[in-house]
Chain A
Amino acid sequence: MINALNKENFQKYIDSLRFALYCITHPLDGFWDLTHEKRGTYAAANTILFLTLLVRVMKLRYTSFIFMTVYWEGINIFLYIASVAFPLGMFVVGNWGLTTLFDGKGRLGQVYMACCYALTPYPLIQFPLMVFSNFVTVDEAEFYMVVSVLSLLWAAMLFIAAMGQIHEFGLGKNLLFMVASLFAMLVIVFILLLFFSMISQGIAYFISMGKEIMFRL
């Protein structure tokens, strides 16, 4: 019984992962079905996000130096991962926070899932491109550049399509809220900065008070 369930779950996971390919080729239809027909899973979304981060890190090492020279002394792998994951998280929260006030139908988890699905072109294109980069000379560098930019543009387009379908917004409203989400991200950054600087001030206060007491004793 458990085995059968696992098998069923696994099949569902594979199907939802495969559905990402449908999403990126049929964005409007795909992202509608993603939530409304429950064809996406969190497991698949997590997998795509993981692959995106993995490919991004792998690119550091395995892209030909013609396209990417890495100053290894200046690389912090966690910061490097956070440079994608953190803005993504902020966008998800910011977008959900805003749209939920303005008739957005998507829930937080659904926004996250759609965002991850929209990232699909990145690992899908960048990984083969990374391998390809090792077989070209500077004269042929244009191919790499064009395809690389295309993958990013594609993902950006998917983001817009995904948000529109999740929240059931029209095009104008959707674009407006994409821009508004960016501002929401700025607000989040501001509040986080404020929060951490306050916390560190507070901690510093207690540390110095502790030191003072130690000296007096």
Chain B
Amino acid sequence: MKKIIKSIGALALGAMVFATSSLSVLADEKSYTYNYDYWGDVQDSPDAYTVAGVYTAEAFGLDLNFKSPQGMFVKDSMIYICDTGNNRIVQLERTGPVKFEVVRIFDTIQGDTEVTTLSSPTDIAISEEGDIYISDNGNARIVKVDSDLNYLLQFDLPVDSTVSADSTFQPSKIVIDTAGRVYCIATSINQGLCKYEADGTFSGFVGATPVTFDWMDYIWKKFATQEQRVRMTSFVPTAYDNIYIDHEGFIYACAGGMEEDDLDNGDAAAIRKLNLMGSDILVQNGEWPVYGDLYWGEGGGYEGPSYFTDVTVFENDIYVCLDKNRGRLFGYDDQGKTVFCFGGNGNMDGYFRQPSAIEHMGHDLLVLDSLDCSVTLFTPTEFGSLIYSAVEDFDEGNYEASGESWKKVMELDGNYDLAYIGIGRSLLRQKKYEEAMDYFELKYDDENYSRAYKQYRKEWVEEHIVVIVIVILAAFLIPLSIGKVKKIKHEIDIADIFRA
């Protein structure tokens, strides 16, 4: 008897251990792509992107391996990669969905200039006319050449009272706007982006990050001696890490390495969208700030907030930030809501070792890894494509089509907040207010809910105006008339003529 009880107990215990362990395995298995919901909980999500290929120099058919490549630029089907360590630039053309051909490799330029070789090019940009701008870091210049590599112009150290004339100019990242103005990030210049006119003259700094400082440090500094003050950290703007100019001419600038506290209380922004005045106009209507991962606990040897090292902006205003710290990509829509998060550090396809640049070609994403010396090509999955078509349809005014796409997205992922809000917004445009309210309420979108409710309430009042007036009148008249009747009754009761 005892044995039976014991064996049953052991069986039950075994079953329990098995059950809990299988549960924990399920819980541990995180999907490659995830998303943050309203509460900031991580929600597993279907993949928005899959790896179409990982290309090393060999796969591209190059003679030399990449050596710590830093910059990348995409124009139409052309890809320019700055092979920084080899002092050259590789131009590739995408000839098929997963096929690339080398167009040319160049390390020299021609024309009327003293230095014709490139030295550690860190970034490249191509203007509408086809002129090539190269951030020639080792030669302390930004050089402008035409499409046949003939020297046209060069941009040197900014002439400004705040910049010491004998310091070396170290341009790292550049963008050019439609008017041919050059915006550049240079190492050791933290006054903002260096802005040059099309004719090569320096015209000022734009968009410096706001200075953040610690109050305790500030007070200490007040009491410190001159010598101590020199040793203390100075309160200066953080230099940007990378810039991107979108199709509307707004500059997206990302600055990694922000202090955790500053990010948390909103003093610092990981990414800024700069207008012509250099002020930040990035819309942050999401529940969570645009700074990548919400949880910065140590895991797998990585800690601290996401470090945005590059950003790229689609034509539909969704922008993708590249996190160097955990090797992840974060997509945000024009409202600052998370569209997708995926990636990680590692050696598998779709994981990175030290990602340094991201570009997009259509809806595809290209990520350059400077340590792995490879380019990873991501193509959107059905899920990703549906999100894009929903967003684009909405922007074009095809609200019903957008709603249909969002519904398909919701079928693929019922935990995808944007789908609910998307359906709601499409219904709102179709004047189906009551249905829209349901969708907004499910995902706690109070702004849109209020918009829908306001219309719904207005319609309701207009429809029931007769009933409302009757009710209000009744509320006033009935007590009044009751009082009147009682009074009359009372007068009748006490009237003399009825007293016999």
Using a CB–CB cutoff of 8 Å, the interface residues on chain A facing chain B are 65-66, 69, 71, 135, 137-139
Contact = CB atoms under 8 A, between A and B. Distances in A.
Interface of B: 38-39, 441, 444, 446-447, 449-451, 453-454, 457
B444 A65 contact: yes
Given A69-B38, A71-B39, A137 B450 contact: yes
Nearest to A67: B446
8 contacts: A65-B441, A65-B446, A65-B449, A66-B449, A66-B450, A137-B454, A138-B447, A139-B450
A69 B450 contact: no
Contacts of A71: 39
Contacts of A66: 446, 449-450
A186 B179 CA distance: 68
A126 B38 CA distance: 26
A137 to B, nearest CB: 3
Contacts of B38: 69
A138 B457 contact: no
A137 B453 contact: yes
A201 B39 CA distance: 37
B6 to A, nearest CB: 14
A66 B39 CA distance: 15
Nearest to A139: B450
Given A65-B444, A69-B38, A135 B450 contact: no
Nearest to B38: A69
A66 to B, nearest CB: 4
A137 B444 CA distance: 13
A69 B38 CA distance: 10
Q: Which of A71, A137, A139 counts the most chain B CB atoms within 10 A?
A: A137
Given A66-B449, A137-B450, A138-B447, 11 more contacts: A65-B444, A65-B446, A65-B449, A66-B450, A69-B38, A71-B39, A135-B457, A137-B449, A137-B451, A137-B453, A139-B450
A67 B446 CA distance: 9
B444 A138 contact: no
Contacts of A139: 450
A137 B447 CA distance: 8
Nearest to B440: A65
B441 A138 contact: no
Contacts of A69: 38, 444
Nearest to B451: A137
Q: Please give me the 6 A-B residue pairs with the lowest Cβ-Cβ distance, nearest first.
A: A137-B450, A138-B450, A66-B446, A69-B444, A137-B454, A138-B446
A93 B420 CA distance: 50
A136 to B, nearest CB: 8
Contacts of A137: 449-451, 453-454
B439 to A, nearest CB: 13
A71 B41 CA distance: 11
B442 to A, nearest CB: 9
Contacts of B450: 66, 137-139
A71 to B, nearest CB: 6
Q: Which of A65, A71, A139 counts the most chain B CB atoms within 10 A?
A: A65
Nearest to B287: A69
Contacts of B441: 65
Nearest to B457: A135
B287 to A, nearest CB: 10
A69 B453 CA distance: 17
Nearest to B454: A137
A6 B441 CA distance: 49
A71 B40 CA distance: 11
A137 B451 CA distance: 8
Contacts of B447: 138
Q: Which of B441, B447, B453 counts the most chain A CB atoms within 10 A?
A: B453
Contacts of A135: 457
Contacts of B457: 135
Nearest to B39: A71
B436 to A, nearest CB: 13
B242 to A, nearest CB: 36
A148 B295 CA distance: 34
